[in-house]
């Protein structure tokens, strides 16, 4: 799927979903009205590319609006290693 650019309040948001170890890592490129671009690191991992990109857009909009940043709704179930460490 091609990258989609979304214009929000004169900023251009380009959400990215990179396939990594059976999950999709959400990332975002933000271009300010003055043309300066910056990219986030990995914002979270999701089971599908659509969810990853949607989260990246929501994250960017919250940053622009200076609102509380969202957290991913989806969290992987703890594996055997996580359960032992929690005990």
Which CATH number, 3.30.160, 1.20.120, 1.20.1270, 3.30.300, labels domain 6-86?
3.30.160
Q: What is the pLDDT of residue 32?
A: 96
Q: Is 81 left (phi over 0), alpha (psi -120 to 50) or beta?
A: alpha
pLDDT digits (tens, 9 = 90+) for 40-87: 999 999 999 999 999 999 999 999 999 887 777 666 555 555 444 444
C-alpha span between 72 and 87 (Å, rounded): 25
Domain boundaries, the chain: 6-86
pTM of the model: 0.78
Q: What is the pLDDT of residue 78?
A: 54
């Amino acid at each position: 799927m091609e990258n989609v650019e979304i214009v929000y309040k004169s900023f251009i948001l380009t959400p990215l979903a990179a396939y990594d170890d059976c999950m999709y890592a959400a990332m975002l490129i933000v271009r300010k009205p003055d043309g300066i671009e910056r990219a986030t690191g990995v914002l979270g991992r999701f089971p599908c590319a659509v969810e990853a990109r949607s989260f990246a857009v929501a994250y960017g909009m919250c940053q622009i609006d200076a609102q509380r940043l969202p957290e991913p709704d989806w969290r992987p179930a703890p594996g055997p290693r996580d359960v032992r460490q929690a005990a």
